[in-house]
Structure 1
Amino acid sequence: MSSIADNLKRIQDRIASACARCGRDPASVTLVAVSKFHPAESVAEALAAGQATFGENRVQEAAGKFPGLRARHPGLRLHIIGALQTNKAREAVRVADVIESLDRPRLAEALAEAMAREQRRPGLLVQVNTGLEPQKAGIAPGALEDFLGLCRETHGLPVEGLMCIPPAGEDPAPHFALLAGAAARLGLRTLSMGMSGDFEEAIAHGATHVRVGTAIFGDRPAM
């Protein structure tokens, strides 16, 4: 079985090749290693191999796993990438460096209140529902400009970019292109898009962050 270090090397090589094909600097793409459901020991193994940026879906899991790791690795950066309940906003602000799932006005309000209380301002990405899927969280593309104005002007939130998860089974390229176009139009520099099966396509469309889990850590442990 391949080690986490070996897996990371393979993914980084693929990122470098994808960047070469579209004339980009590999340093312009950050690999977010999605460690959800995997133990702190696996994260420590990735840290020892040079990986610094991690993604977690659940705030409670992140809060239990990462403070001790961060104490030993001050350069560690943690992204919350899963759906965020408003009652978890304060804990998310406390533990995360970036929250990628800002997806509704009430959450914007809760995050603003949490940042004021915690005196901590993690970066924020707006999740965009590029496929207009009714079962999926995210701001509709047509409502994005107004929502961004609410976040910045009403709540003073540090919105840095956009995130999307294309519909399963569809060609992701049009969704990546839509997100990249919206970011360019709104002057946002960070684009989190692309996962294990499509991150090379996302890089071709300008992704600055790609989220890869199973290809690094293996299958998720049974819960």
Structure 2
Amino acid sequence: MTAAERLQEISGQIAAAAKIAHREAAGVQLIAVSKTRPAEEIEELVAAGQRDFGESRVQEALAKWPEILARNPDIRLHCIGQLQSNKAAEAVKLFDVIHSVDRLSLLSALAKEAEKAGRSPSVYVQVNIGEEEQKGGCAIAEVASLVTAVRSSPLPLLGLMAIPPLGVEPSPYFALLAKLARENGVEGLSMGMSGDFRAAVMLGATAVRIGTALFED
């Protein structure tokens, strides 16, 4: 399949899942996870019309995205990986959306750099929805306080983000994240990847992060 065909296939599956949930497919943002992918593969998806891309590492993104963005200024770049506070300045300048704000120290660093740069990327609060020690994300009990802190910062709050545990049914975790969003008065839900995005859409995802299914292996 070509990049355009893969994009059309995934978009069709998102639309089908949204229809089942009585939602509009336009309410689901498709983020192509381009980490580890070379520029030429990314350019194929850009040519097919894809405009939202996700990267996990600041240094990798800096190595390949400035040239692509110079040619395609309408692209929105998303930071979807764990972010160290010492990378805040670079992240603020490069990314339009940061999905992994999970602690006050990172929020403070991003807010400080946003004021310096005169540029404020939108953010999601990342939740450790499965309470896994090895994963990033704030504890469920800390969601309300971190959401409040973001609202008091110069960074626009888009919603909550989470990655369910591997090897288990993800739907209960998607439902829990949606419940936390309702309780905290936020609408955005960044959840769902290549293997589970249909379930995520049916449970309210407003952004899905898809890599493998969009890029030819």
Q: Which residue of the other structure, out of 197, 208, 213, is the alignment partner of 2:206?
A: 208
Equivalent position SS for 1:207: coil
| CA deviation profile, 1:172-211 (whole Å, cap 9, x unmatched) | 1111011111112212121100000100000011000001
Q: Which moved more, 1:19-28 or 1:119-128?
A: 19-28
Equivalent position SS for 2:214: helix
Q: Please give the residue correspondences for 1:58-73 in structure 2 after superposition, counting only pairs within 5 Å.
A: 58-73=57-72
Is 1:184 matched up with 2:182? yes
Q: Please give the residue correspondences for 1:90-109 in structure 2 after superposition, counting only pairs within 5 Å.
A: 90-109=89-108
| CA deviation profile, 1:50-102 (whole Å, cap 9, x unmatched) | 11100000111112222221221121011000000111111010000000000
Q: Which residue of 2 aligns with 1:151?
A: 150
Aligned counterparts of 1:116 and 1:88: Cα–Cα separation in 2: 15
Percent of aligned positions with the same letter in both sequences? 50
Is 1:43 matched up with 2:42? yes
- Could you tell me which runs of 5 or more consecutive residues in structure 2 were left unpaired when the two chains were aligned: none
Q: Which residue of 1 aligns with 2:168?
A: 170
TM value normalised by structure 1? 0.94
1:104 shift after superposition: 1.0
Equivalent position SS for 1:169: coil
TM value normalised by structure 2? 0.96
Is 1:79 matched up with 2:78? yes
Number of equivalences? 217
RMSD across aligned C-alpha pairs, in angstroms? 1.1
8 Å Cα contact 2:114-2:154 kept in structure 1: no
Amino acid of the structure 1 residue aligned with 2:4: A
Amino acid of the structure 2 residue aligned with 1:6: E
